Chain A
Amino acid sequence: MEYFLQQLINGVTLGSIYGLIAIGYTMVYGIIGMINFAHGDIFMIGAFMALIFIILLGLTISTSVAILMLALILVLVIAMALTSVYGWTVERLAYRPLRTSFRLAPLITAIGMSIVLQNYVQIVQGARVKPLQPLISGGFTLMEVTSEEGTFAVNLSYIQILIIVTTLILMTVFSLLIARTSLGRSQRACEQDRKMAALIGVNVDRTISLTFVMGAALAAVAGMMYLLYYGVIDFYIGFVAGVKAFTAAVLGGIGSLPGAMLGGMLIGLIETFWSAYFTIEYKDVAAFSILAIVLIFLPSGILGRPEVEKV
């Protein structure tokens, strides 16, 4: 029971990170109907941005809590802003010129972009893994059980709280953005019918660009959380994280924002429990198999609408 509770906490934390990345996939898919294959690498760029600015500001564990919090918020904002530029540029260079082309074309450029981003970071930042000393330590002990095998404590660390709370706040903010603002209205209009939206005066190009910017900003948050949680990143983290986040988006129902979050949570939980109770080597296999199973039995996802093909 204690073990289960601990894995539940870990799974929710991991799920929050996947959920944040999944939102980027789901928004882009919703609006232009393509898989932004480079999104996982945007997440990786976000993690690197966070790493660079954390080191640049000289943050360590001995920094006082108030300053550390302010500095981390600053780093988060900078990382979000700069990673958004990457998201914007990728869309502008690789996807927009192909918007009228055949369906496979943007998928192929997306793979190209993913390779470019990975190797670019590998060249300019080096291929070695980048370790970061933990910045936030400690936490609450929720439960402590002593048995003959020793003491098992269920911990909820501060960093896990930080990740879950940040995710909840950002989810709320972005849901409101989509539901209430004129940008969100344009996005939903483009999602339904791009040509019609253009006819009634929605700037479609700008809306699509901003969708990519929003997705990249959230991926940057996920990247920073990943960095703080695991303390080590390299240029390759985007690939597997990207596929899993995409799985999350499909599981939750692609195009649906709460679906992405729900899917992310489920994938995080499944992966954590699989590692805890079965084999850690096959945790990726478990996540990928779920993708296949979901697509076969529930192609529109948990919260998605079934797709209607229009001629």
Chain B
Amino acid sequence: MTSETAPDSAPENAAKHKPAPPQTRDLAASLKDAGLAALITFALAAPIMGLHTMSLPGGGGLAIVPNWASVFISVVVVFVGRLLLDLFVWRRVVQIPIGDKWFRRPGGMPFARHAHRLGGVAGPLLLGFTIIMPFLPFSDRYIMDLSILVLTYVMLGWGLNIVVGLAGLLDLGYVAFYAVGAYSYALLAQYFDLGFWVCLPLAGILAAFWGLLLGFPVLRLRGDYLAIVTLAFGEIIRIVLLNWYQFTGGPDGISGIPRPSFFGLEFSRGDDGFAAFFGLDYSPMHRIIFLYYLILILALITNFVTMRLRRLPVGRAWEALREDEIACRSLGINTTNTKLTAFAIGAMFGGFAGSFFATRQGFISPESFTFIESALILAIVVLGGLGSQIGVVIAAVVMIGGFEYFREFEQYRMLIFGLAMVVIMVWRPRGLIATREPSIALGKRKAISGDLVGEGHG
């Protein structure tokens, strides 16, 4: 079996690199192809899926419980799916006599061009909706809590977008800066009795400082090494938080983190509280709505800063760096410093979001800062479209909303989430809304499709 004609158990991915088969490809060939795919699926599924190991009661080891039905179903699904795709979908594509490059990424080019317009129209509309949302009739406690969560991820996504989307550095440990921000606020409040508004900038600065500290040695290296070092850093921070019991409370976390005040007014029932001052009836919703606007403003600041930075020389240098590091270096851009600014600014916004998280929850523990959180933020950026601000919003709404909606299918949602990452990357490598338009252009603006640019190292 040569690999060119080798079958494939998830048919939707395979179409892209299939060389044009001879025109005489008939039903028999399709059947053979689908049969091979089914055979491979059987080999994949039979032991792991078909033979479930179950603990015997009383700790007496394990026993095998066969589960052939699901193996059979997956084999049949792959066989039929592959056959149908082979007969009806792929055949049509390969018969059009232009090089197969055009069909690899359906719609890559026009979509990118519309992205700019989409951001221009949908952006203000979305913003208007988010501003009036707390006063709409359907906004109960649950919806508001969910919206705050979504906005937190939007902010984290925008922060990470500076690092991954603009500067093209893969950061797998972004949650570390989120954790630094959260723990900075919690610990400063616990040990020095400082309030939220003092700690917010401090948390951002501390996170940025950690970003510098980590980035300085590592950013000289090739991009893939950065990915693995940031991943390791994320784990180190988590392990230290977990084990430094005297200082961070270890697995018990820190509780009783003070809530933010509205210009000195607490959201409490007393006479000096927010409700009494404005002559309102006390309602716990006031704090929720306040938190909602707080994270909205923080997120918008992130967005605003990003948009402005993109127009500054340093932002243009980020975009150039993402496209071609070697060219940047030959043009005299200090690549290490440029990367470092992106890394530190991204970390700073992560720190802000972290201290907001701490004040909202009132309780933090290392469990909130696992690798899967980093992967989730990264997925939001990647699926939304690297470098696209509106894409991050859409991806955050879809993913966090989807996670909430499919709460009963707890087990399956991570599986689907991982699959979505793979499928979207293969199908549309620049994300759903891909923009690689330079923020500033001399003369005519040109959209660059990811497929047309051969990228160098970096």
Contact = CB atoms under 8 A, between A and B. Distances in A.
Interface of A: 33-35, 45, 48-49, 51-53, 55-56, 82, 85-86, 89, 92-94, 96-98, 101-105, 107-109, 111-116, 118-126, 128, 130-133, 203, 205-206, 209, 239-240, 243, 246-247, 250, 279, 281-282, 284-285, 288-289, 291-292, 295-296, 299, 307, 309, 311
Interface on chain A toward B: helix, strand, loop, or mixed SS?
Answer: helix
22 contacts: A52-B47, A52-B53, A82-B43, A92-B6, A92-B14, A94-B422, A97-B13, A102-B450, A107-B170, A107-B227, A112-B379, A124-B67, A126-B53, A128-B55, A132-B62, A203-B2, A239-B371, A285-B236, A292-B217, A295-B229, A299-B221, A307-B222
A103 B225 contact: no
Interface in B403-458: 411-412, 414-415, 417-422, 425-426, 429-430, 450-451, 453, 455-458
Interface string B4-34: 1010111001101100000000000000000
B235 to A, nearest CB: 6
In order of increasing CB-CB distance, the 5 nearest A-B pairs are A112-B421, A115-B418, A288-B232, A116-B418, A112-B422
Contacts of A103: 223-224, 455, 457-458
Contacts of B43: 82, 85
Given A34-B224, A85-B40, A109 B236 contact: no
B414 A119 contact: yes
Interface string B368-400: 000110010011001000100000000000000
Contact of A111 (B378, B386, B414): B378
Contact of B62 (A55, A96, A108): A55
Contacts of B371: 239
B170 A284 contact: no
B426 A94 contact: yes
Contact of A121 (B48, B222, B382): B48
B232 A292 contact: yes
Contact of B375 (A102, A115, A123, A292): A115
Interface in B169-226: 170, 172, 217-218, 221-225
B143 interface: no
B429 A98 contact: yes
Contacts, number: 209
Given A112-B418, A116-B418, A133 B232 contact: no
Contact of B224 (A107, A128, A309): A107
Nearest to B232: A288
Given A101-B429, A102-B429, A115-B375, A52 B51 contact: yes
Given A121-B48, A295-B225, A55 B63 contact: yes
B372 to A, nearest CB: 8
Given A94-B422, A115-B375, A126-B52, A311 B3 contact: no
B415 A104 contact: no
Given A114-B418, A123-B412, A89 B455 contact: no
Given A85-B40, A103-B458, A104-B164, A125 B62 contact: no
B235 A243 contact: yes
Given A97-B16, A115-B421, A281 B64 contact: no
A292 B233 contact: yes
B44 interface: yes
B422 A113 contact: yes
Contact of B48 (A48, A281, A295): A48
A109 B224 contact: no
Contacts of B307: none
B54 interface: yes
A120 B415 contact: yes
Contacts of A52: 47-48, 51, 53, 64
